[in-house]
Every structure is written in C-alpha cells, then in structure tokens.
Structure 1
Amino acid sequence: MGVKLIKLSTLYFLLGAALGYGMSISHDYALAPVHVHINLLGWTALTLAGIVYYLFPSAESSRLGKWHFWLHNIGLPIMMGSLALLIVTQNEALGAGTAIGASLVMISVVLFTINVWKNIKPKS
C-alpha cells in the first residue's frame, strides 16, 4: 500500500502542477485553492504516508491503514472536484460535495494519526 500511495501521489502532483501551469498561462488564479489542496493533500501528504507505510509494515497492514487509504483517495477527488465546480459555476449547492469530501479526508487523517501512534514503535 505504501508504494501504491507514492505512485498515486505522483498523479496528484502531475494534476496540481498542470493546474498551476494552466493558471499561470491564463493569468486566472480562481482555482488556486484547488491547486494548493491537490498538491498538499494529494502529492505531499500521500507521498509521506506512503513512505511511512513502506517503512513500517505493521501500520501498512493494519485496518486503520486500509481505511486511511480508501477514505483519503475517495474524499480528495470528491472535495477537489466539487470545489473546482463550485468556483467555476458559483453554484453554492456544490458546497455539500466539498464538505463531504473534506470530511472523508479529515476522517482519513484522524485514522492515519491513530495508526501511527498505535502501530509505529521504536526498534527494541
């Protein structure tokens, strides 16, 4: 799972960089919040989580790790897609999708934190 997270994070990195590139070319920075969150929660957070899981197999193989993986990777696209559409269309109803996705990501971060504290121990 650690390797899968690292590989998935590169897709978020590519998407975030492409979005930033597009904003720079067009001089339209309306989607800057999407760009930042894709890079932080997609590229950076998932890369670091992948490294943690790779280095600590007990955390990787735990149920908490699996729930973290799925909730994060379901919630982030929902959150970012909804936020992007909300910004572009100004349709406030899309705020619900943003909130749902953000809630899933937040739950995944809580589970990751519990997992690290529970399953990562110093070498004896």
Structure 2
Amino acid sequence: MSEPGRGRGEAEVNAARRRLAARRRDTERRVAALRRDLNSQLETPGTGDDEHDPEGATLAFERAQTQSLLDQARAELDDLDAAEKRLNDGTYGSCLRCGRPIARERLAARPAARTCIRCANRRR
C-alpha cells in the first residue's frame, strides 16, 4: 500500500482529512434530520386517497422531495468514503478521468471531488 496522500505534504494530507471529516459530520447530521423529517411526514395522517384529497398530492410531493434529498445525502457519504480511500491509497487529488491534479480550491470546496474542473465540465 502506498503512503497516504502520495505526492502531497503531511500538512496538506491532514487538512484534507479534516475537510473530509467535517463534511462527513455535516452530511451525517443532514441524513439524521432528513430521516426525522421523512418519518414525521410518513406519520402525518392522510385520507389514503391522494387523487381526491387536495392535500394528498402535496404530501406525496413533500415525501418524494425529502426522500430524494436523503438519497443525495447518502450518496455524498459514499463519495466521502471513496475520497477517504483515495487519500489512504495516495490517489486523492488526482482526477479519475485524466490523472491530472485536481485544483486545491476545488478540493477545498468539494473535498470528495473525483475529477478536475475540466473533466467535470466535459460531462455536461
């Protein structure tokens, strides 16, 4: 196994670990809050007839929106796990598409970034 953060200084690796840990804490809090919201929405009594209940469509939309946000937050946790693994195996900060370094500013803003800005823009 390679040294963590191969090609990066110890201070930079430690800073990346702190950013990833902070983002993980924030995301875990968001997941917990969204779970509570979804459970609360599911406990909200409805008529069971979304088609004819004027509130039914709104409740269904709110539940779907909360579930979507929860799915996104869980995917972010997966991305953070993958970033931690890249940090440990020495590939963190290298674009997974082209192999070039990912800008420090991008990693500061998006610690789990997998691609450089150039490759990220190509996907659009």
| TM-score bracket for this pair, using the shorter chain length | 0.3 to 0.5
State the TM-score, normalized to the length of structure 1: 0.41
Which structure has the larger Rg over C-alpha atoms? 2
Structure having the larger proportion of residues in helix? 1
Q: Which has the higher contact order (CA 8 A, sep 6+)?
A: 2
